[in-house]
A and B are shown apart, each in its own frame.
Chain A
Amino acid sequence: MCLSIPARIVSIDGCMAEVSAGGAIFKAGLHMIENAEVGDYILLHAGFAIKKISEKEAEETLRLFEEINDSLNE
């Protein structure tokens, strides 16, 4: 139950959204996040979106991984 999973917002109706994760659709309360938009990635936990996933930071971590790859390839 403690797990949160990344999910993508597919539709928004007031404070509730439908989000998709691993091919399934879940309901998610948007009460705790601001400026949610369709297409955003969020962390879904026990029926609520608890955080928007920062695309910028995700890309940055992946870039760091790339560097690890490069440095070991040299």
Chain B
Amino acid sequence: MKYIDEYRNKDLIIKLTALINTSVRRDYTFMEVCGGHTAAIHRFGIPFLLPDSIKLISGPGCPVCVTGTDFIDKSIAYSKIKEVIICTFGDLLRVPGSTSSLEKEKTEGADIRIVFSGLEALEIARFNSEKKVIFLGIGFETTAPGTAVTIKLAKKDIIKNFFLLCAHKIMPPAMEAIIKEGVNIDGFICPGHVASITGSAIFDFIPRKYNLSCVVTGFEPADILQSILMLVRQVNHDVPKVEIQYSRAVTRNGNIIAQKNLSQIFEHCDEIWRGFGIIPGSGLKLRKEYEEFNIEKIIPLHIKSKVEDVLCICGDILRGLKTPEDCALFAKKCVPEDPTGACMVSNEGACNTWYKYRIDE
């Protein structure tokens, strides 16, 4: 397919790798923030192409992984209410809550449906007017505008049985939290699809305030290798800045229509991230004018979540402090078919990708 094959060209990849090899002058550590990048990096075997002096670590950009146990517990509690239909992206199903998962509840009879978009959930609401349809809103700046459009449509078409349980988050505060933790990195492989919405300018504070390099990156192997080369060169010249490698999808200013939708419907709030606790200003919540769609306002619930399995180190992995191999449960008790923690569930989770692509090392 156009825009995929060219970026997987083997000769090109060999040559980019060679160029990286001749450019390294020291040790480098770069963090890929986006779960999509984590998956692509391991799927294409990028770590094996790089010289030993370049280390890649994963960050907090898998939306399923950073969703807190309390959100899963709440979703489950809503699913137990009669007349409720829960609509969710498939990845959330197997994430363990305190005592159960959405998948388990579904097999036990709860009406939980997998959808590909908010629009699909809205359709389900239209056809089930006697039910309350709750859409589980997770994801970053890439996914949240779709939820915003859906809420706007629900308001316009006066769909009174459609609601949102919202855990949408934004990326820059989490990246700042990582830096403040003191994780030792030289730069970020910045999330390309988040940036297609926000524009690359949202990362400007990183070189300015923290002297770290940033390259907004696409998702094919040549994209990733080219970005690593750009990062190495930035570090070598000691000129940290934000560069765009993924220029076919990203501009400095991003998608203005999507941004408008976001700011019309949502405002910033403090939000819980697995592994981090509360990160100030990192969440999105419905504005007052749209509160009629906030299920937590319509049916308030008070949930006491249990602390996560003490042996699961998902939190440290999401903060770039550890790798899956450091976990005592990895590939033993915790496997994709029976995950202990969220990082083993999603295709974009670090533990899941390590399990799939690095286990026979």
Contacts and interface: CB of A to CB of B under 8 A. Distances in A.
B197 A65 contact: no
Contacts of B118: 46-47
Interface string B246-261: 0111000001011001
Contacts of A2: 34-36, 61-63, 139-140, 142-143, 193, 348
Contacts of A34: 257
Given A2-B348, A6-B3, A68-B15, A51 B196 contact: yes
9 contacts: A1-B63, A1-B90, A2-B193, A3-B39, A4-B36, A6-B1, A41-B2, A48-B149, A61-B245
Interface string B59-83: 0011110000000000000000000
A26 B258 CA distance: 20
B248 A69 contact: no
Most B CB contacts (10 A, CB to CB) among A21, A26, A69 go to A69
A31 B265 CA distance: 15
B331 to A, nearest CB: 24
Interface stretch (B4-12, B205-213, B276-284, B285-293): B4-12
A13 interface: no
B145 A50 contact: yes
Given A1-B89, A50-B145, A29 B117 contact: yes
Contact of A61 (B1, B34, B248, B348): B248
Interface of A: 1-4, 6, 8, 21-22, 26-27, 29, 31-34, 41, 43, 45-48, 50-51, 53-55, 57-58, 60-62, 64-65, 68-69, 72
Contacts of A22: 1
A4 B16 contact: no
A10 to B, nearest CB: 13
B266 interface: no
Contact of B143 (A1, A26, A58): A1
Given A2-B348, A47-B119, A69-B11, A29 B3 contact: no
Nearest to A54: B248
Contact of A68 (B16, B39, B138, B145): B16
Contacts, number: 133
Given A31-B257, A32-B255, 6 more contacts: A2-B63, A21-B1, A46-B118, A47-B117, A65-B9, A69-B11
Nearest first, the 7 closest Cβ-Cβ pairs linking A and B are A47-B117, A58-B248, A57-B247, A57-B248, A51-B196, A48-B146, A1-B89
Contacts of B149: 29, 31-32, 48
Interface in B330-361: 346-348
B146 A47 contact: yes
B316 interface: no
Contacts of B162: none
Contacts of B62: 2
Most B CB contacts (10 A, CB to CB) among A2, A29, A45 go to A2
B11 to A, nearest CB: 7
A52 to B, nearest CB: 9
B19 A53 contact: no
Nearest to B13: A65
A6 B8 CA distance: 14
Nearest to B91: A1
B142 A32 contact: no
A46 B143 contact: yes
B1 A68 contact: no
Interface string B156-189: 0000000000000000000000000000000000
Contacts of A55: 248
A69 B260 CA distance: 41
A8 to B, nearest CB: 8
Given A6-B3, A53-B3, A32 B258 contact: yes
